Structure 1
Amino acid sequence: MFGGFLVSFTGSMFAESALPALIAVGVLPVAWLTVFRTAGMVLDMGTPFAMRFLARFSPGRLLQACELVDIALCLTALALIAVLDVPLAAVIVAYLLATTILPLVIDVAEELYIAQVSMASEDAAVRYNSAISSSTALLGFVIAQPLGAFIAEQSVVLLLIANTVLSAVALTARTISNRMLPTAPFKQTEAGDPRRKSARRSLWRKASFAFSLGAISPIISGSLALANGIIGGYVVIWAASNASNLLAQTGIGLFCFGIGAVVGPLTARRVIRRVEYSAAMITGASVLLASLVVGLLAAVALPAQSAVTTTLTWLALLGASFARSGAMVLYASARQARLKGETLLGAIGISRSFSAGGTLAGVWLGLALGVADNPCLGLTFAIAVIAAMLVFMVFRRGDTPQLKAAASQG
């Protein structure tokens, strides 16, 4: 299943590379990039409702179905271009809009799959999640995006062909995996389980559900997404624009972000074996907070054109990416191993919704605050968000479900 995910992810990255390519050559306006990203975030915000439907099916079967749908859409797009001579831009836009729902289904199915495979072993969940997070970061920044951009320069049609082939390989891998380790439709907890009743009453009806899980609370994912959205790529643009070699500095910034995203999950895998989950999350949040403070001090106290400022900014970005990616792996793994039944479904749904809403709000807030021109105000907001999250985790630490208690549920 791991191999199938990576192959599928690579194919999707190839296909998505078509959009920037068409924008770069002037075939499509830049606004389309915002449209697709916003559409994806809006769909993710509806995850709590999608969970009710998706939980009825086997996670393994859902993943196979997604690959079949992607193959069918790719073949349809190729036929429209080659046979009916439909304009390339129109076909690509239609294809990307049609596949917008697939990442949501795949992510939910993958998480439910990991939850079944990991059972009561938090370490198994951490191993799988850390491998997925590190591999996708490496593939995205080092292989898929550069290679996709190169292929797009030659022919966008080649991207669709490559995605079709990779989806077929992924389908084969997922089919083999599902036969070796079949998964059943997600089991609901027993009727007498108090967690099930609590979650059912609380989903969207009671805001207290978001506060009831301590360090596994959906508030954590929402806070991390909001802070990341506020600064995100804006800080890279700001630091690079004040350097003499803009393109080189942009590359360094993206490299630092990518390295942090690769190393963070691998470190989390080792940390969780030695440190209790809540303590590990608090430590990760503290590192993230310290990194943001370093970035703010560099922006406020030093000249914008200074090499020291740029260096400190890249180090802060590296630390923030490292801490955030590691924390997200710990967060997802503990949720999968410790929560069961309706409580897990509710936590996944609301966490993804909070994360999407936080990202969407953060991106627009970062734009409104002019972080790309002056990051001080944006960094201050991000620091306030992470500090509040850290305080929440410390004071609600006792509410975090423990592994043994969660394992006995359902």
Structure 2
Amino acid sequence: MRRYMAAGLLASLSGSFVVAGVIPGAVAAGALSIVWLPVIQSVETIEDMSSPAVARLLRDKDPGRVLVACEAFDALACILALALIYTTSIHPAIVFIAYVLVASAIPLVVDVAEELFTGEIARISRGEALRFNIAIYAMIGFTGSLVAKPLGSLLATAALPAALAINLCASLAGLLLRRRSVRSLSTIAGAPYESAPSPEPDEPAHATASWGEIARAAGPGSPVVSGLLACSTTVVTGYLAQWVAHAMPHPGRALAALLVATGIGATAGPYLARPATTNFTTGARLLLTARIAALGAILAVALTTSAGSTVRFAWMLLLTACFGATVMASSVVQATARQVQYRGHGLAQMVGWSHSAAAAGTLVGAWSGLALGVQRSPVAGILLAAVVALLAMARLSPTSPPHRT
């Protein structure tokens, strides 16, 4: 069951990340304005801010079947987009942007359903949930940043239909694999759960919490920490790559190389979370310290190297990988902390508010990065990202709402 669901996610993300890589590739090539980066991200994050409502709708539904429906919708949207490109005179770029906007809601539902699915695994075994999270996030790094996004950036100006066709094939493969997982789950649905793992002493499981309790909650799995870390990441993510790539002789190739470096870090990063989950709070604090150190090193490179130099590019490849690793490791720790700490409707509630807070943080970070001109000079953006990360660290001392039934 777990293998098929993970394989389905791998197939689905492969196509989605090819599409996602087209936009920054087109920006680096000068085919689209830099403003499209925060515009697309803003549409997605505004939708993500409705995560509490989505989690409420999904909390009593089979998350596996929800994921199957998402794959079917994405496949149909791709088919429609390809039909419009080949049967009408509408410019392919317009059709592609329209598809991206229509499909932008899919990751919202997928993210919530995927975490609720992992929450079911956590009821059986905390270690199994951690292994599933590590596998999922590592696959996201490998298929997304290491393979699919660089491919999408290379297809940005020449083969938009090819990017859509790849996504269609990937969605169909994901649909079949997820259906297989749902069938496998149905065969063991009547089997009793093993005894649930005992939460850490400072992280008791909860049923539900009031809005005020959610806002005051601390620890790695809290919505406030999710929002602050998303903001810290997005202030510089994307813009730093544009800053480096635009100064190179071949911006498109440079961007693809930077995306590969990000993918290497994002693929290795989840495995750093394994020792960090021995104690969620301590582990999260160490990972945040490493993130701030990576930002400091990037700041030093910005201040001491010349634009377009091989030295700057080499350092940025290394530091981009390091930064990506810390971001993905932190994501695994946050997700696992939520899944272990909460159960049932309480988990759906915390997942929804955490995703909503992360969306709000992403929205603020994306536009703050643009306003600070990180793509031209990253100094102010790096400093802001480090300050916000420090604020997140201050919220890591775990507190919990009273137990409710």
1:59 maps to a residue whose letter is P
Q: Percent of aligned positions with the same letter in both sequences?
A: 32
Are 1:165 and 2:176 an aligned pair?
A: no
Q: 2:184 aligns with which of 174, 177, 180?
A: 180
| Partner Cα distance (1:253, 1:74) in 2 | 28
- Relative to 1, partners in 2 of residues 1:63 and 1:231: Cα closer, same or farther, differing over 3 Å? same
Match of residue 388, structure 2, among 379, 385, 397: 385
Answer yes or no: is the 8 Å Cα contact 1:242–1:304 preserved in 2. Answer: no
Using the TM superposition, give the Cα deviation of residue 332 of structure 1 relative to its aligned residue in structure 2, in angstroms: 0.4
CA distance in 2, matches of 1:293, 1:17: 27
Kept in 1: contact 2:10–2:140 (CA 8 A): yes
Determine the C-alpha separation between the residues in 1 that align with 2:163 and 2:256: 24
Deviation (angstroms), 1:286: 1.4
Residue 249 of structure 1, CA deviation: 5.7
**Larger mean Cα displacement after TM superposition, 291-300 or 379-388:** 291-300
CA distance in 2 between partners of 1:136 and 1:329 (Å): 12
Of 298, 316, 321, which residue of structure 2 is paired with 1:318?
321
For residues 105 and 371 of structure 1, the distance between their equivalents in structure 2, rounded to whole angstroms, comes to 31
The 8 Å contact of residues 49 and 359 in structure 2, kept in 1 or not, is answered as yes
Q: Which residue of 2 aligns with 1:360?
A: 363
Give 1:114 deviation, angstroms.
Answer: 0.9
Contact (CA 8 Å) 2:11, 2:170: kept in 1 or not? yes
| Residues 1:343 and 1:78: Cα distance change in structure 2 (over 3 Å) | same
Matched residue of 1:353: which SS? helix
Q: Give the whole-Å Cα distance in 2 for the aligned partners of 1:20 and 1:294.
A: 24
Which residues of 2 match residues 160-309 of structure 1 at below 5 A? 160-182=164-186, 195-197=206-208, 199=209, 201-202=210-211, 206=212, 208-239=213-244, 250=255, 253-272=258-277, 275-300=278-303, 302-304=304-306
Residues 36-77 of structure 1, C-alpha deviations (whole Å, 9 max, x = no match): 322111000111122111223210110111122222223333
**2:44 is matched by which residue type in structure 1?**
G
Q: Does 1:12 align with 2:16?
A: yes
The equivalent position to 1:40 in structure 2, one of 44, 65, 68, is 44
Number of the residue aligned with 1:133: 137
Question: Do the aligned partners of 1:22 and 1:28 also contact (CA within 8 Å) in 2?
Answer: yes
Tell me the distance in 2 between the aligned counterparts of 1:379 and 1:26. Answer: 25
Match of 2:78 in 1: 74
Contact 1:122–1:334 (CA<8 Å) still a contact in 2? no
Identify unmatched segments of 5+ residues in structure 1: 185-192
Cα–Cα, structure 1 residues 77 and 385, in superposed 2: closer, same or farther, change >3 Å? closer
Asked if 1:65 corresponds to 2:55, the answer is no
The answer (yes or no) to whether the contact 1:238–1:372 under 8 Å persists in 2 is: yes
| Cα pair distance change 1:159/1:248, threshold 3 Å | closer
Letter of the aligned partner of 1:181 in structure 2? Answer: L
Q: 2:52–2:353: 8 Å Cα contact kept in structure 1?
A: yes
- In the TM superposition, residue 97 of structure 1 has moved relative to its aligned partner by 2.5
Give me the whole-angstrom Cα distance separating, in 1, the residues matched to 2:343 and 2:86: 49
Task: Note the residue ranges of structure 2 that are not aligned, 5 or more in a row.
Answer: 190-203
* Deviating more after overlay: 34-43 vs 74-83: 74-83
Per the alignment, in what secondary structure is the counterpart of residue 395 of structure 2? helix
Moved more, 18-27 or 384-393: 18-27
Distance 1:247 1:150 in 2: 7
Paired positions, count: 385
Give the root-mean-square deviation of aligned CA atoms.
3.4
Bigger radius of gyration among the two? 1
Q: Match for residue 101 of structure 1?
A: 105
CA deviations on 1:23-47 (whole Å, 9 max, x unpaired) are 7899877655543322111000111
Q: CA deviation at 1:118?
A: 2.5
Q: Counterparts of 1:42 and 1:145 in 2: how far apart (Å)?
A: 23
Q: Separation in 2 of the partners of 1:196 and 1:95?
A: 38
Q: Residues 224 and 85 (structure 1 numbering): CA distance in 2 closer, same or farther, change over 3 Å?
A: same
Q: 1:26 to 1:88 in 2, by over 3 A?
A: farther
In structure 1, what residue type is equivalent to 2:371? A
8 Å Cα contact 1:18-1:92 kept in structure 2 = no
Give a deviation string over 1:327-361, Cα, whole Å, max 9, x none.
11111012112211232122111111111111111
CA spacing shift, 1:294–1:127, aligned 2, 3 Å = same
Q: How does 1:21-32 map to 2 (within 5 A)?
A: none
